[in-house]
Amino acid sequence: MDLARTDFYLDGRWVDACADATLPVHNPATEEVVATVPAGTAADVDRAVAAARAAFDGWAATAPAERAAHLDRLHAALTARADDIARTVARELGTPLKLAARVQTGLPLTVLRGYVDLAARPPAQETVGNSLVVREPVGVVGAITPWNYPLHQVMAKLAPALAAGCTVVLKPSELTPLVSYLLFDAIHEAGLPPGVVNLVTGTGPVVGEAIAAHPDVDLVSFTGSTATGARIAHLAADRIARVALELGGKSANVILDDADVVTAVKVGVGNAFLNSGQTCTAWTRMLVHRSRYDEALTLAAKAAQAYRLGDPFAPDTRLGPLVSAAQRERVRGHVARGLADGGRLVAGGPDAPVPDRGWFVAPTVIADVDPDSALAQEEVFGPVLAVIPVDDDDHAVAVANNSRYGLAGAVWSADEDRALRVARRMRTGAVDVNGAPFNPLAPFGGYKQSGIGRELGRYGLDEFLQTKAIQR
């Protein structure tokens, strides 16, 4: 074991946890325990929230340019740690190092850079008749985050919260807490005022619930599963606290008959298997027009078989393990059920070879999936793609919308107007047409059970502001 932390970051310093209990952190590629972190308690949360509350008035009153300067210094401190961040995420999550550098490190730095700019020019006040309408920070934010993009999901909350003038108590996922320790080293070096950001690690039922139920937390900003999001919303509802929820997904990748199928399948498979399929926005349902269906299946099987699984630190590895043994069992269960429900295996599956050590699942493509079956309806969170034939645009839209989720999606067509018409009809928070790139300044969030609220860019900032009318 490399690291045994016993401390949290509270009120501007590293202090010992109230209790001695610890939680193990594993390397999912080797199954070894690589670190331990404290299992926080409600008493630790009380200390963190008290620090954030005490710091709030001062931080909220800080001039925008000064807040921006703090975030800029944080950006510099994190940039200096970029290699360490990528290696830490590769170790605690299993993301291949190259991808960890680009997505797990580069993306949160880009998000933070965007909020340096937005912090410097906060939303203007407005005059409505005899009213002056002003935007003010919401207050103390409880941020609870998952393991799959462990720094990005923290940054998507922390950066806008700080830019808006809020103070924060963070509970990262207990499966990937190590990158948050690096983040708080950078926060300390950047010299943010004591209490403005606080870290407590621990389990969801103990630390997470203590944050969600805390009377002094004004907004609970959560990213994770829909079931946990519902629990958090219930806890917050009891005291009418705000919630922002970024939850699960089962996004559809719609490939129309006039699409460039080669590109659509290549990009679609890459999207579905990104980060071993542990991506909330993954296009896990590929909906292909019947006239191009067989062609798409051949291409998808070939693309899946070309993935190299293995050590996240090896330069040619494209697919790492899943985060935990439990997650691997869940994913295996989904594959077995998908096949039992009539799906046809075209790549991967239960018997495909995987490394002996580590929580790996082979990239799997299952065809002829019934749109109502569990594999088409449940979030798998592993490298498993369900392919479904569709008859025409109306049918594609109906199947795409046949989901309790609505987080992301894609449409491919040679006719951009046609693709845009389909995109507008999809009940989902984002749609990419013909492989358009991810935009870190665009609003990000869910329709239906994929969540409430938006993150990123100026829409993300809005979540951390409230509106006051002053009549004169």
| Minimum CB distance to ligand NAD, residue 76 (Å) | 27
Among 232, 287, 331, 386, binds ligand NAD (CB under 6 A): 232
Q: How far is the CB of 247 from ligand NAD (least distance, A)?
A: 5
Q: CA separation (Å) from 39 to 106, 122, 470?
A: 29, 37, 45
CB-count burial class (<10 Å; 0-12, 13-18, 19+) for 338: buried
Cα 220 to Cα 117, 140, 232, 383: the distances in Å are 24, 9, 8, 30
Binding residue (CB under 6 A) for ligand NAD from 22, 79, 110, 225: 225
**Which position among 50, 144, 187, 256 is part of the footprint of ligand NAD (CB under 6 A)?**
144
User: Of the two residues 135 and 454, which places its CB atom closer to ligand NAD in the complex?
Assistant: 454
- Choose one: 91-99, 120-128, 192-200, 219-227; the region binding ligand NAD (CB under 6 A): 219-227
From first CA to last CA, the distance across the chain in angstroms is 64
Distance CA 28, CA 321 (A): 6
* Least distance between ligand NAD and beta carbon 45 (Å): 11
Sheet holding 126-128, edge to edge: 126-128, 131-137, 465-471
Which tokens in the block code for residue 285? Answer: 């349902």
408-467 residues in contact with ligand NAD (CB under 6 A) are 446, 451
205 touches ligand NAD by CB under 6 A: yes
Nearer to ligand NAD, 174 or 463 (CB): 174
The span of 130-138, 186-194, 221-229, 389-397 binding ligand NAD (CB under 6 A) equals: 221-229
Please answer whether residues 173 and 147 qualify as being in contact, where contact means their C-beta atoms are separated by less than 8 angstroms: yes
In the complex, what is the shortest distance from the CB of residue 348 to ligand NAD, in angstroms, rounded to a whole number?
21
Q: Return the residue of 122, 137, 146, 363 that touches ligand NAD, per CB under 6 A.
A: 146
Binders of ligand NAD among residues 364 to 383 (CB under 6 A) are 379, 381
Other beta carbons within 10 angstroms of residue 467's beta carbon come to 11
Which of 162, 254, 407, 423 touches ligand NAD by CB under 6 A?
407
User: Hey, what amino acid is at 352?
Assistant: A
Subset of 289-328 contacting ligand NAD (CB under 6 A): none
Considering the complex, state which of residue 44 and residue 246 has its C-beta at the smaller distance from ligand NAD: 246
Nearer residue to ligand NAD within complex by CB, 307 or 381: 381
Q: Which residues contact 144 (CB under 8 A, 6 or more apart)?
A: 171, 204, 208, 211, 212, 220, 221, 222, 223, 224, 232
Q: Using only C-alpha atoms, what is the Rg of the chain?
A: 22
Q: Which of 163, 168, 280, 286 binds ligand NAD (CB under 6 A)?
A: 280
Tell me the C-alpha distance between 398 and 224, whole Å.
27
Measured distance CA(217)–CA(184) in Å, rounded: 20
String of contacts with ligand NAD for each residue 12-51, x by CB under 6 A? ----------------------------------------
Choices 30-38, 200-208, 310-318, 391-399; region in contact with ligand NAD by CB under 6 A:
200-208
Q: Is 228 in the site for ligand NAD (CB under 6 A)?
A: yes
Backbone phi, psi, residue 427, to 5° = -85, 80
Pattern of binders to ligand NAD over 234-253, x per CB under 6 A? Answer: ------------xxxx----
Q: Round to whole Å and give the CA distance between 189 and 197.
A: 13
Catalytic machinery residues: 246
Task: Identify which of residues 288 and 375 has a Cβ nearer to ligand NAD in the complex.
Answer: 375
β-pairing, 285-289 vs 252-255, is parallel
Tell me phi and psi for residue 366, to 5 degrees: -120, 125
* Site size for ligand NAD (CB under 6 A): 31
Sign of torsion over alpha carbons 330, 331, 332, 336: positive
Query: Is residue 213 part of the contact set for ligand NAD (CB under 6 A)?
Result: no
DSSP 309: B
Q: Which residues bind ligand NAD (CB under 6 A)?
A: 144-148, 153, 171, 173-174, 203-205, 208-209, 212, 223-225, 228, 231-232, 246-249, 280, 379, 381, 407, 446, 451
